[in-house]
Structure 1
Amino acid sequence: MTAILAIDQGTSGTKAIVVDADDGSIVAIAEEAIRPTYLPGGGVEQNPHELLDSVLNAGRRAVNASHRPITGVALANQGETVLAWDPATGAPLSQAIVWQDRRADSVCAEMTEHADHIARRTGLVLDPYFSAPKMAWLRRNVTREGVVTTTDTWLVHHLTGEFVTDAATASRSLILDLDTVTWDEELLGLFGLTGERLPRIVACDDIVGTTRAFGGDVPVAGLIVDQQAALIAEGCLQEGSAKCTYGTGAFLLANTGLNPVRSHAGLTTSVAWRAAGHTPYCVDGQVYTVASAVRWLQDLGLVPSATDLDTLAASDAEGVLCVPAFAGLAAPWWAPDATASFTGLTLATRREHLVLAVLQGIAAQVAELGALVAADLGRPLSRLRADGGLTNSAALMQAQADIAQIPVDIYPHAHATPLGAAALARCALDPALGLKEAVGDWRPTTVYEPRWSRDRAEEFRGRWARAARPGAPEGEQS
């Protein structure tokens, strides 16, 4: 029996799974932890050697545990993390600048007059979150040598020798024309990146080369950015379906079909995937700090680990609100300099109130994103599919259902991203296989129904939104 190795190279670790090439079932799993470095001034970096080693080690461990021959390798990536490297040797020339890094805010500030034009051309907001500002920052501050690309291009080069990126990842760059899905010379010029050698854009179901890194000479296909991979795995293949991944950050994506609609609600639009000759799009919004906010609670000694959230969270926050903007606020605020805050504290406030307030703050941001998605779609979301490590917290998921006032369906696997990449690789290796068939059906492990009344949810969201407003007076943000 043959199998596909699917690798999810993420912010806090690399996960490798081996799936059956015929039915997509999981055969083996291996994980390698990665610890980003957080720097003063909003810097977040990773060691490129650690990234590559984690891919190779996790992949080889998973293959060895599967006891099966591998017929394909798929790779999902972080999306907006970039580095400079030598295309002749593959050697990194910089640290990997993580998608959370805010140091390119100065680049964006200089380009404010072009923000509307850039949004119309790319579907994205001018923000340091995306790739091009970080690429420009590297060129200004670190090196003019080699090439500067997202990490997927560098990893695939080490695996195959090719110089490529997929259409979904490219659409997260701020230098791609969203309608034609091609690099845009004018945008490159605006970012000071004229003349840069950029990777060839490929479809997510293209076979881009072969690798011997995991034994034999194996095709590499199924390249895609991580959140879009999860969108596929959770079966959000039809217009209007939506999912949210709760990982280092939270990422809510909704399929908008073949029309690259520009958000009127402060969200971003990008390529969902390109496969079987079609290019569906999606709108998305981000919460920058989710698991990283929980890690902050751990660092302060308020919770021993994420698995203790439900036992330590209060049943009621007693009026305490948290805006967990530890790395700024994304849509609809787009305030990179926003900071986290607690309001409603009294001498009766205890640890359990703070823990629940953080979880409710995360859920409130996702609920705001859901409302924005509904505005762009022209109809409210009827359900939200959810995946990621923090879906194990019943307190967080119940808060999500309560505050957003929609049922939350928990995806049954902890591996949505690599499973989505694996489905694309299966389609690449068997063109007769449709994406829906490759994904298959799934049933939620748990469904969280709203327990709050609509009035209570609206009152909470109103108070939270006032606390979250960037630049609010001290009486509203403390």
Structure 2
Amino acid sequence: MTGPVLAVDQGTSGTKALVICPERGVIGTGFAEVRPRHRPGGLVEADPARLYDSVIEAGTRALAEAGESVVALGLANQGETVLAWDPATGRPLTDALVWQDRRAQSVCTELLPHAEELRALTGLPLDPYFAAPKMAWIRRHHTREGVVTTSDAWLVHRLTGAFVTDAATAGRTQLLDLDHVRWSRRALDLYGLADERLPEVVGNAQPVGATRAFGPEIPLTGLAVDQQAALLAQRVTAPGGAKCTYGTGAFLLAHTGSVPRRGDTGLVSCVAWQLAGRTSYCLDGQVYTAASAVRWLTDLGVIEGAADLDAVGGTVPDCGGVTFVPALAGLAAPWWRGDLRGSLTGLGLDTGPGHLVRALCDGLAAQVVLLAEAAATDLGSPLDVLRVDGGLTRSALLMQTQADLLQRPVEVSALPDATALGMGALARLGAEPGLEVADALPHWKPAAVYEPRISAQEAGERMGGFRAAVDMLLREADG
């Protein structure tokens, strides 16, 4: 490769862009905020124009800081965010329904008799988190015009004119035949989407067009879901390893090799990436609220921001008997109960901000532990170590809590922007056929390693308390 690449990570709360040189590393960065709208009833929307503008703003800033031209572009997307749009003009016909949006629950309820069939076909449980229920909801309640796709297809079309989506993103729709990596006619029929014009499913590293949106023409050669891009950057490229990204939500992915692994623990089976015609798969578990739960605590005035977690949590030695199930947007894997609301129990007159912060850290970490345990069950062997990235990994309190409850080492990535770095690698692979995957990836080393500091017995007791709190929520919800 003879030059730098531009890697853009279009996320839920903002878009990050990096200019990455193969010899010098990151030489330019840019960021543009995106503020989704949270409305009553679990509705979460974003302005499509803002999504696109944020890509251009972040990318332009990164290029300006680098002061160099780039040879390729990679674009990561949110995965399950959808909208309807006019393919002739590129004009959005609806707001973007963000992955956290729950309005398509009615579609899922209607399809409950086909839930197991859909899981067998696509690897995904029936839940409005995924793209297909939102796509069907838009068609039933909003507009029959244009096309309805995940946000990446619209962004790529705006940038290049191409009508494509990558294999990993297509695998997050519940419309992809997981074994054959092509659209499933049966799934489309079940969702009432059989007549839809769908984007072509392409590999994650190949030329799909070119854009002049940033100035000089740049080939677009890499596409992926944000979490899969982070998995690649963390060098989890073979079975046995897992990573967790702590962003708006927390997402644990475990590599399963060249065959999809369909377990019964509640984890999602999906495409990790498709490179040079070869497909790799992963197990995926989700925590709907991570940084968004910290933001909620901030909005209440308990802390001033995520940077306060350690300082405020450090004022007390433990949770003071408080248990927090931070299901502020429902519970995802392994329960798939988006209808549940969070709980905060064990409060007393002596409860202070530090106890609430520690209880939140415990609640987030406990959910990740349950995902790791589920992945180990489906894989048939325990995970040796967990590699982590994302903004919340800056909290030593949260990371130590994670290691304590997991009873395994937690390796914090020294890569502050793993998703964008993974996209840079995919863009490079797409621009330079024959390049080995390992040679395209950033050098990986941990910035910190957290070892468990409590006994397995204490970890078990704390996990038992969290499980009991979740069980109580389930019993209350089910009457």
Shorter-chain TM-score tier:
over 0.9
| C-alpha spacing 1:24/1:207, structure 2 compared with 1 (3 Å) | farther
Q: Map 1:27-426 onto structure 2 (within 5 A).
A: 27-313=27-313, 314-426=316-428
| C-alpha spacing 1:417/1:329, structure 2 compared with 1 (3 Å) | same
3-state SS of the aligned residue for 1:83? Answer: strand
Contact 1:205 1:425 in 2 (8 A): yes
Q: Which amino acid aligns with 1:10?
A: G
Q: C-alpha separation between the residues in 1 aligned to 2:208 and 2:24?
A: 21
Structure 1 residue 306 displacement after superposition: 0.8
1:124-144 CA deviation, whole Å, 9 max, x = no partner? 111001000000111111111
3-state SS of the aligned residue for 1:206? Answer: strand
Q: C-alpha separation between the residues in 2 aligned to 1:443 and 1:227?
A: 19
1:209-238 CA deviation, whole Å, 9 max, x = no partner? 111112222110110000000000000011
- Cα RMSD (Å): 1.3
Taking structure 1 as the reference length, the TM-score comes to 0.98
Structure 1 residue 349 displacement after superposition: 1.2
Other-structure match for 1:5: 6
Q: C-alpha separation between the residues in 1 aligned to 2:472 and 2:60?
A: 46
3-state SS of the aligned residue for 2:207? Answer: coil
3-state SS of the aligned residue for 2:273? Answer: coil
Q: C-alpha separation between the residues in 2 aligned to 1:336 and 1:427?
A: 38
Structure 1 residue 427 displacement after superposition: 1.1
Contact 1:24 1:423 in 2 (8 A): no
3-state SS of the aligned residue for 1:310? Answer: helix
3-state SS of the aligned residue for 2:333? Answer: coil
Q: C-alpha separation between the residues in 2 aligned to 1:83 and 1:245?
A: 25
Contact 1:333 1:470 in 2 (8 A): no
Structure 1 residue 415 displacement after superposition: 0.7
Contact 1:222 1:424 in 2 (8 A): yes
Structure 1: gaps spanning 5 or more residues: none
Q: Which amino acid aligns with 2:394?
A: N
Structure 1 residue 471 displacement after superposition: 4.3
| C-alpha spacing 1:157/1:304, structure 2 compared with 1 (3 Å) | same
Work out whether 1:18 is the aligned partner of 2:19. yes
Q: Map 1:428-439 onto structure 2 (within 5 A).
A: 428-439=430-441
Structure 1 residue 472 displacement after superposition: 4.4
Q: C-alpha separation between the residues in 1 aligned to 2:140 and 2:118?
A: 21
Q: Which amino acid aligns with 2:429?
A: C
Contact 1:321 1:357 in 2 (8 A): yes
1:26-49 CA deviation, whole Å, 9 max, x = no partner? 111000011110011110000001
Taking structure 2 as the reference length, the TM-score comes to 0.97
Q: C-alpha separation between the residues in 1 aligned to 2:239 and 2:453?
A: 28
Contact 2:167 2:203 in 1 (8 A): yes
Q: C-alpha separation between the residues in 1 aligned to 2:317 and 2:254?
A: 31
Q: C-alpha separation between the residues in 1 aligned to 2:413 and 2:396?
A: 14
Give the paired residue count: 475
3-state SS of the aligned residue for 2:336? Answer: coil
Q: C-alpha separation between the residues in 2 aligned to 1:159 and 1:187?
A: 29
Give the ranges of 4+ consecutive aligned residues of structure 1 lying more than 2 Å apart after TM superposition.
Answer: 469-474
Q: C-alpha separation between the residues in 2 aligned to 1:198 and 1:463?
A: 46
Q: C-alpha separation between the residues in 2 aligned to 1:204 and 1:196?
A: 23
Q: Which amino acid aligns with 2:397?
A: A
Q: C-alpha separation between the residues in 1 aligned to 2:186 and 2:259?
A: 23
Other-structure match for 2:470: 468
Q: C-alpha separation between the residues in 2 aligned to 1:188 and 1:442?
A: 40
Q: C-alpha separation between the residues in 2 aligned to 1:228 and 1:13?
A: 18
Q: Which amino acid aligns with 1:419?
A: L
Structure 1 residue 469 displacement after superposition: 2.2
Work out whether 1:427 is the aligned partner of 2:416. no
Q: C-alpha separation between the residues in 1 aligned to 2:72 and 2:17?
A: 13
| C-alpha spacing 1:177/1:433, structure 2 compared with 1 (3 Å) | same
3-state SS of the aligned residue for 1:189? Answer: helix
Contact 2:415 2:444 in 1 (8 A): no
Structure 1 residue 276 displacement after superposition: 2.4
Q: C-alpha separation between the residues in 2 aligned to 1:117 and 1:268?
A: 14
Structure 1 residue 59 displacement after superposition: 0.7
1:429-450 CA deviation, whole Å, 9 max, x = no partner? 1112111111143210100000
Q: Which amino acid aligns with 2:3?
A: T
Q: C-alpha separation between the residues in 1 aligned to 2:160 and 2:472?
A: 46
3-state SS of the aligned residue for 1:446? Answer: strand
Structure 1 residue 24 displacement after superposition: 6.9
Structure 2: gaps spanning 5 or more residues: none
Between 1:1-10 and 1:95-104, the stretch displaced more is 1-10
Structure 1 residue 473 displacement after superposition: 5.2
Q: C-alpha separation between the residues in 1 aligned to 2:416 and 2:145?
A: 39
Contact 1:263 1:283 in 2 (8 A): no
Other-structure match for 2:452: 450
Identity %: 55
Q: C-alpha separation between the residues in 2 aligned to 1:263 and 1:56?
A: 40
Q: C-alpha separation between the residues in 1 aligned to 2:294 and 2:322?
A: 17
Q: C-alpha separation between the residues in 2 aligned to 1:422 and 1:55?
A: 15
3-state SS of the aligned residue for 2:387? Answer: strand
Structure 1 residue 23 displacement after superposition: 3.5
Q: C-alpha separation between the residues in 2 aligned to 1:433 and 1:177?
A: 29
Contact 2:71 2:218 in 1 (8 A): yes
Contact 1:338 1:470 in 2 (8 A): no
